[in-house]
Amino acid sequence: MTGIDVGTMVIPAMVMAAVAAWLVVPPAGTCRTEPHKPAPSWLAPRSGAPTPEVRVVAGLVAGCGVMAAVPWPLPVGVVVAVVAGAVVWWGSGRLESSAHRREEERRAAQLPETLIMLSSAMEAGLPLRSAVTTVAESLDGPCGRDLRRLESSLTAGVADSKAWAGLATVPVWRDAAQDVSRAVDSGEGISELLLAHAAQMQIAAAEQAEKKARKAGVDAIGPLVCCHLPAFLLVGVVPIIAGMVLGAL
């Protein structure tokens, strides 16, 4: 492919890249005052995925790379490049870093204890806001950081129900935070509600651990068979067969 052809294909790709970046990534220092509709579930990135800027750059690089590397006719190349960029952009939203996964596992393991501490503080006579502050100050780890963010929202004047609804955007907190958000206006039964969620999570964690233990036992059968069956044949069966053959001879 000649340099002219490459330039003819790359320049439109660069223009598309600039337009897409301008549309998807808002300039720094700007804020959108219009109500933002949430993206469909199949289109929204999963928690822990790369940032929108990284995903856009990955899609643009993929699209430009397709146009520059393959000698498509220009209209076909543009279409294929757009499709390739969209696939990379969407696929990168399905990725999750190992660090984020470990953080979510720590949060899930710590949450039952956190809910029990909140419930105990309320049973000791503290209102919910004071219980959040007390537990946030004494707790480290992901759940402690979550409570400190919740405390900051409450201190900034956000309504309790709205602040807890915001905490529900964290997947591990979703069910408990949504229930508290609905019950917080009445203030009744929140302590029992927190204990119920803690008990459900502990039961679910125990069941998950039991499933992992059973799966580990099943997974161990294959290596054991591969190791012990040949040894059994060599030590037990082969000498018998060899003895019978030698006796017949």
Task: Per-residue pLDDT tens, the chain, 249 aa: give them.
Answer: 444 454 455 555 555 555 555 445 554 444 443 444 555 665 666 665 667 777 788 777 877 777 777 776 777 777 777 887 788 777 776 666 677 778 888 999 999 999 999 999 999 999 999 999 999 999 888 999 999 999 999 999 999 999 999 999 898 999 999 999 999 877 678 999 999 999 999 998 888 878 877 776 666 676 766 776 677 677 777 778 877 877 777
φ/ψ (deg, to 5) at 93? -75, -15
Long-range Cβ contact pairs of 179-184 (< 8 A, separation 24 or more): 180/128, 184/128, 184/160
Q: Give 177's contacts (C-beta < 8 A, 6+ positions apart).
A: 164, 165, 167, 168, 170
All structural domains of the chain, each given as residue ranges with its CATH number in brackets, are: 3-26+40-92 (no CATH), 101-202 (1.20.81.30)
Cα separation, 67 vs 75, in Å, equals 10
Q: What angle do CA 203, 150, 200 make, to 5 degrees?
A: 10
Per residue in 205-215, pLDDT tens?
Answer: 888 878 877 77
The predicted model scores a pTM of: 0.58
- Residue 31: predicted pLDDT: 42
Q: Give 206's contacts (C-beta < 8 A, 6+ positions apart).
A: none
First to last CA, the chain: 75
- Residue 4: predicted pLDDT: 43
- Residue 38: predicted pLDDT: 54
